Amino acid sequence: MTKTIALIAHDNKKPDLLEWATHNQVFLQKFNLCATGTTGKLLQEEIGLDITRYQSGPLGGDAKIGSLLAEGEIDLMIFFFDPLESQPHDPDVKALLRLAAVWNIPSATNRSTADLVITSPLFEDYIPIKPDFSDYTERLHKSL
């Protein structure tokens, strides 16, 4: 089964992601790729990667990627976010990072981490342990 990698970058980090993706183009071509709007368009036009594109992050793309994380449809999230600039959709950014953590999905928020993750000998065959939230959902339903 082919893994799916989500690629996301804030405006100031798009050049970094493009450079990283260009350097790793052969590797990335082996996987299903998805991205938020502008990032996906740049990766398609400048590198020629085949990418499923969603809306721009603030217009719902972040929410779509978050939904895919929660549904187990994404195996790795590479999200080069800009930690030095406030974003109008900061809650969406936090939600993406939180969902990746909740569902135990590997995520890389900078080039060094992305390099380490994709070069790990575990990456292609690794299946993360999915958390069991049955106790949580049972408690939630009992309180309703």
Q: Which residue bears the tokens 């082919």?
A: 2
Which residues have a Cβ under 8 Å from the Cβ of 29 and sit 6 or more positions away?
49, 50
- 92 catalytically annotated: no
Contact 102, 137 (CB under 8 A): no
Catalytic residue among 11, 16, 50, 62: 62
Token pair of 2 as six digits: 């082919």
Tokens of 140: 């939630």
Residue partners of 90: CB distance under 8 A and separation at least 6: none
Residue 1 pairs in a beta bridge with none
- The conformation of residue 130, written as its DSSP 8-state character, comes to P
Q: Which residues are part of the catalytic machinery?
A: 62
